[in-house]
Amino acid sequence: MTLGIRIAGLNKTFAGHDGVPVAAVKSIDLNIEEGKLVTLLGPSGCGKTTLLRMIAGFEEPTEGDIWFGDRRMNDVAPNARDAAMVFQSYAIFPHLDVFENVAFGLRLRKLPRKEIEERVMRVLEQTGLSGYARRSPNQLSGGQQQRVALARCIVMEPRVLLFDEPLSNLDAKLREQMRVEIRELQQRLGITSVYVTHDQVEAMSISDRIVVMNGGVVEQAGTPHEVYARPATRFVADFIGKANFVSARIAEAGSVEIAGTRFGMEGLPQAAVAKDVTLVIRPEAVHLSRDKGDFAGTVRRVMFLGNIAEYLVDVPGAGEWLVDSPNPAETGLFAVGETAHLTLSRPSIHVLG
């Protein structure tokens, strides 16, 4: 049985070098449903790792409460929280083989030898390590070592699983492979999980919900689609993916005006005619053509990335826009200095206000 996590009014203040208190986490209220994977996402120093360490019990809150199910955890020792953490550094024992690394916690619990063997072999199979039981860590790749660290946590059958940037030491291709494996395993086991990363793509690809943090506070919490398509703040829009921030004015009910061009758009604030707003326009929400569109601009930069071409287009009166154009090999690349016509995908535009 897994546990949901509830965080209420959580604050953490550290003593600064000059004696001035530093607030690392400020007034966090958060509900994590049982069996879900929630990612704490944000730049370095935003408070996400401090929050994770408080959930694990490695840091004490200055104020507020942490609940696992109906049990308040503030005064519960880390080893009594029924939670396990996968660390960035793997933290596996170099002098023990794979089997003994995974069995280590079970042996501390003094479980029967047969039960230890059954549980370890089952978890090694779940993590794709069944043929590596007697290998030493120095015979393993980085991805395999991370699987050992994950197996060592899972074999304890925790009700909460915590991840502290577990893939940051792997190369890009292996990170992509491992995040798929972690997500599939978490869904299969149904363990409530909290995952810390600064990598937006990683967060988007594995999470049921994303909690975007900045300066110790939660800027937005929602599904990956919600935080990407409907960011609550400019910080969220800028941090997750790429975005064009375009100044506009609500011209009349149901329409906006950008640099003298007016077009209809849904989701505009009620009774806000003549109000200045900022539109979030994702690069993939702009279609380029050579004949007609909502706007015309001049191509200033071209980057061919294989599956897409990334353009920087100067739109008179509206600034420079990033545009991602799919299938460039099929549609043909625009050249620097060429005139391009831009058409906006209306449903993909978001009003920040």
C-beta of residue 291 within 8 angstroms of C-beta of residue 337: no
Tell me what pLDDT residue 217 has. 97
Instruction: Give me Rg for the CA atoms of the chain.
Output: 25
What is the per-residue pLDDT for 247?
93
pLDDT for the residue numbered 270 = 63
- How many CB atoms lie under 10 A from the CB of residue 344? 21
> In which band, very low, low, confident or very high, does the pLDDT at 280 lie, cut at 50, 70 and 90?
very high
Fold of 5-238: Rossmann fold (3.40.50)
* For residue 282, pLDDT beyond 90: yes
Q: Give every CB contact of residue 79 below 8 A, 6+ residues apart in sequence.
A: none
Burial 303-329 (b: 16+ CB within 10 A, else e): eeeeebbbbbbebeebeebbbbbeebe
Residues 157-173: pLDDT tens digits? 899 999 999 888 888 88
For 129, the token pair is: 């390590």
Mapping DSSP to helix (H, G, I), strand (E, B) and coil, where does residue 258 land? strand
Q: Where are the alpha helices (DSSP H) in the chain?
A: 48-56, 98-108, 113-126, 142-154, 172-189, 200-206, 224-229, 234-239, 328-331
| pLDDT at position 174 | 82
pLDDT at 353: 62
In this predicted model, what pLDDT tens digit does every residue of 218-229 receive, in sequence order?
999 999 999 999
Of 202, 85, 84, 92, the C-alpha closest to 142 is: 92
CA-nearest of 166, 221, 212, 171 to 33 is 221
Instruction: Output 20 or 116, whichever has higher pLDDT.
Output: 116
Contact 248, 265 (CB under 8 A): no
CB 278, CB 246: distance < 8 Å: yes
- The owner of tokens 């353009």 is 311
Tell me the C-alpha distance between 123 and 349, whole Å: 45
Q: What is the mean pLDDT of residues 195-213?
A: 96
pLDDT at 255: 84
The two tokens of residue 216 are 């110790």
Please tell me the class of the 245-351 domain. Answer: mainly beta
pTM of the prediction? Answer: 0.90
Q: How confident is the model at residue 286, as a pLDDT? A: 95
Given a cut of 90, is residue 300 above it in pLDDT?
A: yes
Which of 7, 132, 315 lies closest to 120 in space, CA to CA? 132
User: Measured between alpha carbons, how far is residue 228 from residues 219, 233, 323 in Å?
Assistant: 13, 11, 16
Exposure letters 144-167 (e unless 16+ CB within 10 A, then b): bbbbbbbbbbbbbebbbbbbbbbb
C-alpha of 266 from chain center: 28
Check whether 186 has a pLDDT greater than 80.
Answer: yes
DSSP label of 271? T
Q: Where in the chain is the domain with CATH 3.40.50.300?
A: 5-238
Domain with CATH 2.40.50.140 in the chain: 245-351
